[in-house]
């Protein structure tokens, strides 16, 4: 599986592909120079239960660390994951 990040204007998304098929996406809004808001996660039903959402989140967290930006997770999935996972708290906007 390949996970990529793309940005355009004030929006961005992470995407997981497997064998050329989109397995899932997580979208975010660029709210400032050092700040993004994760607003939506979508996983293809054929890939449910394979950790795609978590893979997407970790890719965005990795990008946030590299760019030294903070994240607000408005998406219910991302919000739940931030509450559950201690290892990503460093990028959470407080």
User: pLDDT tens across 20-75, in order?
Assistant: 899 999 999 999 989 999 999 999 999 999 999 999 999 999 999 999 999 999 99
Task: Note the pLDDT of residue 11.
Answer: 98
Decide: 72 and 37 in contact? Cβ < 8 Å.
yes
pTM: predicted TM-score of the whole model, two decimal places:
0.95
Structure token pair of residue 14: 């992470």
Task: Note the pLDDT of residue 7.
Answer: 96
Number of domains in the chain: 1
Q: Mark out the alpha helices in 7-90 (DSSP H runs).
A: 52-67, 76-84
Q: Do the strands 70-73 and 35-43 form a parallel or antiparallel pair, or are they unpaired?
A: parallel
User: Closest Cα partner for 36 from 16, 4, 66, 15?
Assistant: 66
Judged by DSSP in three states, 2 sits in strand
CATH of residue 52's domain is 3.40.630.30
Boundaries of domain holding 24: 2-91
Q: Indicate the pLDDT class of residue 82, thresholds 50, 70 and 90.
A: very high
Task: Note the pLDDT of residue 38.
Answer: 98
């Amino acid at each position: 599986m390949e996970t990529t990040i793309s940005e355009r204007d004030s929006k961005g998304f992470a995407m997981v592909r497997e064998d050329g098929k989109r397995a899932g996406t997580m979208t975010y809004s660029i709210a400032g120079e050092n700040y993004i808001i994760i607003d939506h996660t979508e996983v293809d039903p054929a890939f449910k239960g394979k950790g795609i959402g978590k893979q997407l989140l970790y890719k965005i967290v990795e990008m946030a660390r590299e760019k030294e930006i903070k994240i607000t997770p408005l998406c219910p999935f991302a919000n739940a994951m931030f509450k559950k996972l201690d290892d990503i708290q460093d990028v959470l906007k407080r």
